[in-house]
Amino acid sequence: MADTSRHKEQPQFTDQDLVTQTLTDKNAFAAIVRRYEAPLLRYITRLGCRDTNAAQDLLQEIFIKTYVHLNDYDHSLQFSSWIYRIAHNEIISSFRKEKNLPSVLEREGDLFLFEKVVDDLELTDEDGQKHSAAQIQAAVDRLDPKSREIIVLKFFEEKHYEEISDILQIPEGTVATMINRAKKKIKSYLEER
């Protein structure tokens, strides 16, 4: 009889499963890295880190901190919120050291994300045309760092209010208020043009 066990698909492990496995077998951490490498690198880039080497270094630091503090992970939180919180702290720390806060997006492949901001704000110029991605990019770049981050998390990382609350460690009501204020600022910046 043929061995069919090799042909069975690997079960899809939850983040909590992977954390539990990693706590008993450090090699299991590779699955967490594979799952979060691309989203976290995208997050680093969207918050302004343009240098590929610096972004990779920052990503490595995030994974090191995640591994070192894995025992501290609170299972009542979503793991994605917890790891994004670590990323948030590392990115902000890096920006403070470098004293730079460049633009949110540059890659053309991400320009469709600006459509979400345009649609949500119902943004049109005087002629009834939607503002261009470049105009919205410029308006988002003018935001203070906290407002910019909340817009990135909501519209570009597509996080829900609860996740943003966990990542930034602020109440959900404050998240909603900050998003509304940031959207109003973007709209006012666009109307200045």
Query: Of the residues 66, 98, 130, which one is the last residue of a structural domain?
Result: 98
The CATH number covering residue 115 comes to: 1.10.10.10
Please tell me the distance from the alpha carbon of residue 111 to that of residue 173, in angstroms, as a whole number. 29
> Any idea what DSSP says for residue 155?
I
**Co-location of 113 and 165 in the same domain:** yes
Structure tokens at 69: 């503090």
Smallest Cα–Cα separation from 92: which of 143, 140, 41, 58?
58
Bridge partners (DSSP) listed for residue 130: 124
What does the pLDDT read at residue 173?
A: 94
Query: Of the residues 68, 98, 128, which one is the last residue of a structural domain?
Result: 98
133 domain-assigned: yes
Each residue's pLDDT tens digit, 39-65: 999 888 888 777 888 889 999 999 999
pLDDT surpasses 70 at 83: yes
- For 71, the domain range is 14-98
Tell me, yes or no, if the pTM score tops 0.85.
Answer: no
Asked if 184 contacts 151 with a C-beta cutoff of 8 angstroms, the reply is: no
CB atoms within 10 A of CB 78: 17
Each residue's pLDDT tens digit, 111-140: 555 566 656 666 555 555 667 777 777 888
**Co-location of 76 and 123 in the same domain:** no
Structural domains of the chain, count: 2
